[in-house]
Chains A and B, each alone.
Chain A
């Protein structure tokens, strides 16, 4: 009498469940998804809460049976928030403050880094240490003196306090970008530069035509992250040009006051915004960045992978 080959079966199921060298088993895969979905939910919870609540009408908000899904999307919240944010104008200011500064920062940090990466500058070690050191100076220390400086030259209430430091490699987290560019410029063969020099190209031309195209990912990294960081920076920019070029973030931080002002002007009974309206305002303020991320998501992530920070 032959016994059924149970052991072979159990080995097979076992390997399917727990996985083998080549394949991930069902159980580890399920555990991975469980943890990722769980933590992902905690991560996104504030956003889900915001989307759900910003679409609820006052009736839904006070109805205890409505928790997540509004009975019908209520767009009035967005209409009021749109006005209180002065959306179109604030968006234009945000773009001026973030994108233009990011362009300047990318141009200057790559230019500076090319000098550090490719030429024998006197005291080079000291300069690199100083570049790194600038990253560790809290913004609070330099903000008042910079304000006084800009005030003296009449730059307060213009965008120059944002542009000028970026143009001279002292912008927000500029040290990070300088170091990334240095690593990129050092990683391609110097023979390329030398060949171009033999062909009669000047040094600036070599930087423009060879070094920069060889470092596309670094440029993308610098442009994307500078834009995002400047977009979300509020404390400094509020001081420098919050009155004349209020960005979306400035408008959001004074949202309740502006909403009340708008309402009392129109003679409404209740002037303070409901939580739904505040959340609709928040949603509108981050919407441009969310759309931007939707389009450039791959570039963001690839640029970190290729940043060279992991050391090649």
Chain B
């Protein structure tokens, strides 16, 4: 009995020691989070509601309520336009990137000569994707689609607006969108390699064709991975420096008349919009996944 007590005490202290050690390992993150993420978040929120003034003896905040939000939303002529363009770009590019990455990954998921070479090519853009390089290589020369093939442009323009606008955005930025899919292709490829070939063999014995195998095996298996990769894609696209709203936020940061505050308000509106977009995507996956399970049952 006595011995039992002693061992319990010893394991207890072991547990406390473990907790302590774990906390020591984790502490740097907590400190960094408070300093470089949490405090900036609060400060940015504060800036968006206050006028920030630099005086000789320090900075002063004056409460302005929603003034900067209303300035960004109602008075600024470009903000809503830029926000709309950026969101449209993200909303169009995400499905393009995902579908494209999945197709390329499926094509690469086999043994054939030059496979490594092709894998390397499709990853290459990741290495050189940066604001200045994209604006030199993609924006400057990108063949203006509407000028080069006016017939197709005319045809698309006749379609209703909600179809023609996304189609034009995709066609005009296709190469740029494809350049965003470097990491996604490799992630999908890694995922495809994990699916057991036995599953496909069993499906073939049951008479499933390529099309059925894709919808009944590949896609359900990849579903969680696709969700994670979609979230990653949305964040990469939204942090992309050259995107219209990001450029405007950066340009208005040091505007002397409303130092920091206007750009802070803009960035919170943008943040909110991206959260909504992510929620919408999650909802689509949720509904799609449930329908898939329903069909299987």
- Physical interaction between A and B: yes
Chain A residues close to B by CB (< 8 Å)? 21, 24, 29, 32-33, 35-36, 39-40, 42-47, 49-50, 108, 111-112, 114-116, 118-122, 127, 130-131, 134-146, 148-149, 164-165, 167-170, 176, 178, 203, 207, 228, 231-235, 249, 252-253, 255, 275, 278-279, 281-282, 285-286, 289-290, 292-293, 297-298, 300-301, 304-305, 307, 309-311
Which B residues touch A114, using CB under 8 A?
25
For the complex formed, measure the closest distance between the CB of A166 and the CB atoms of chain B, giving whole angstroms.
9
For the complex formed, measure the closest distance between the CB of A141 and the CB atoms of chain B, giving whole angstroms.
5
Which of B108, B174, B190 is the one whose CB lies under 8 Å from A304? B190
**Would you call B63 an interface residue if the criterion is a C-beta within 8 Å of the partner chain's C-beta atoms?**
no
Establish whether residues A144 and B260, one from each chain, have CB atoms under 8 Å apart when the complex forms.
yes
Pairs of residues from A and B, 5 with the lowest C-beta to C-beta distance, nearest first: A168-B32, A119-B22, A115-B25, A232-B130, A145-B40
Establish whether residues A309 and B187, one from each chain, have CB atoms under 8 Å apart when the complex forms.
yes
Interface string of B241-254 (1 = CB under 8 A from A): 10000100110010
For the complex formed, measure the closest distance between the CB of B29 and the CB atoms of chain A, giving whole angstroms.
4
Which A residues touch B41, using CB under 8 A?
137, 141-142, 145
On whether A285 and B132 interact (CB within 8 A), knowing A42-B175, A207-B25, the answer reads yes
On whether A169 and B29 interact (CB within 8 A), knowing A42-B178, A46-B138, A309-B225, the answer reads yes
Which A residues touch B39, using CB under 8 A?
145, 149
Which B residues touch A43, using CB under 8 A?
121-122, 124-125, 175, 178-179
Which A residues touch B204, using CB under 8 A?
21
How distant is the Cα of A255 from the Cα of B23 in the complex, in angstroms? 48
Interface string of B265-294 (1 = CB under 8 A from A): 001101100110010000000000000000
Establish whether residues B190 and A310, one from each chain, have CB atoms under 8 Å apart when the complex forms.
yes
Which B residues touch A122, using CB under 8 A?
19, 23
For the complex formed, measure the closest distance between the CB of A213 and the CB atoms of chain B, giving whole angstroms.
17
Establish whether residues B119 and A301, one from each chain, have CB atoms under 8 Å apart when the complex forms.
yes
Establish whether residues A167 and B32, one from each chain, have CB atoms under 8 Å apart when the complex forms.
yes
How distant is the Cα of A121 from the Cα of B190 in the complex, in angstroms? 32
Which A residues touch B275, using CB under 8 A?
136
Establish whether residues A141 and B123, one from each chain, have CB atoms under 8 Å apart when the complex forms.
no
**Would you call B162 an interface residue if the criterion is a C-beta within 8 Å of the partner chain's C-beta atoms?**
no
Residues 38-97 of B at the A interface (beta carbon under 8 Å): 39-41, 43-44, 47
How distant is the Cα of A36 from the Cα of B204 in the complex, in angstroms? 26
How distant is the Cα of A229 from the Cα of B22 in the complex, in angstroms? 29
The contact sample of 22 A-B pairs, CB cut-off 8 A, is A36-B107, A42-B178, A43-B175, A112-B29, A116-B25, A119-B18, A119-B22, A120-B22, A127-B29, A136-B231, A137-B37, A138-B271, A140-B249, A140-B263, A141-B40, A168-B35, A169-B28, A234-B241, A281-B136, A282-B132, A286-B128, A304-B183
Chain A contact residues, majority secondary structure: helix
Which A residues touch B119, using CB under 8 A?
301
Q: What 12 additional pairs, Cβ within 8 angstroms, besides A121-B22, A282-B133?
A: A43-B121, A47-B137, A136-B278, A144-B264, A145-B40, A149-B36, A170-B29, A207-B25, A231-B130, A301-B116, A305-B190, A311-B225
For the complex formed, measure the closest distance between the CB of A138 and the CB atoms of chain B, giving whole angstroms.
5
Establish whether residues B36 and A121, one from each chain, have CB atoms under 8 Å apart when the complex forms.
no
How distant is the Cα of A39 from the Cα of B179 in the complex, in angstroms? 11
Establish whether residues A252 and B246, one from each chain, have CB atoms under 8 Å apart when the complex forms.
no
Counting residue pairs across A and B whose Cβ atoms lie within 8 Å, the total is 250
How distant is the Cα of A283 from the Cα of B189 in the complex, in angstroms? 30
Chain B contact residues, majority secondary structure: helix
How distant is the Cα of A127 from the Cα of B32 in the complex, in angstroms? 13
Which A residues touch B132, using CB under 8 A?
234, 249, 252-253, 255, 282, 285
How distant is the Cα of A305 from the Cα of B238 in the complex, in angstroms? 26
Which A residues touch B108, using CB under 8 A?
36
Establish whether residues A50 and B137, one from each chain, have CB atoms under 8 Å apart when the complex forms.
yes
For the complex formed, measure the closest distance between the CB of A311 and the CB atoms of chain B, giving whole angstroms.
7
Establish whether residues A108 and B28, one from each chain, have CB atoms under 8 Å apart when the complex forms.
yes
**Would you call B110 an interface residue if the criterion is a C-beta within 8 Å of the partner chain's C-beta atoms?**
yes
How distant is the Cα of A235 from the Cα of B124 in the complex, in angstroms? 22
Interface string of B16-36 (1 = CB under 8 A from A): 001101111110111111011
Establish whether residues A311 and B224, one from each chain, have CB atoms under 8 Å apart when the complex forms.
yes
Establish whether residues B26 and A112, one from each chain, have CB atoms under 8 Å apart when the complex forms.
yes
Establish whether residues B136 and A278, one from each chain, have CB atoms under 8 Å apart when the complex forms.
yes
For the complex formed, measure the closest distance between the CB of A194 and the CB atoms of chain B, giving whole angstroms.
11
Which B residues touch A311, using CB under 8 A?
194, 224-225
Which B residues touch A169, using CB under 8 A?
28-29, 32-33
Which of B29, B140, B278 is the one whose CB lies under 8 Å from A168? B29
How distant is the Cα of A47 from the Cα of B116 in the complex, in angstroms? 20
Establish whether residues A115 and B44, one from each chain, have CB atoms under 8 Å apart when the complex forms.
no
Establish whether residues A115 and B24, one from each chain, have CB atoms under 8 Å apart when the complex forms.
yes
How distant is the Cα of A51 from the Cα of B124 in the complex, in angstroms? 15
How distant is the Cα of A178 from the Cα of B271 in the complex, in angstroms? 23
For the complex formed, measure the closest distance between the CB of A251 and the CB atoms of chain B, giving whole angstroms.
9
For the complex formed, measure the closest distance between the CB of B252 and the CB atoms of chain A, giving whole angstroms.
10
How distant is the Cα of A33 from the Cα of B115 in the complex, in angstroms? 10
Establish whether residues B239 and A139, one from each chain, have CB atoms under 8 Å apart when the complex forms.
yes
**From A142, which residue of chain B is reached at the shortest CB distance?**
B40
Which B residues touch A293, using CB under 8 A?
120, 124, 127
Which A residues touch B24, using CB under 8 A?
115
Establish whether residues B21 and A249, one from each chain, have CB atoms under 8 Å apart when the complex forms.
no
Establish whether residues B44 and A111, one from each chain, have CB atoms under 8 Å apart when the complex forms.
no
**Would you call B155 an interface residue if the criterion is a C-beta within 8 Å of the partner chain's C-beta atoms?**
no
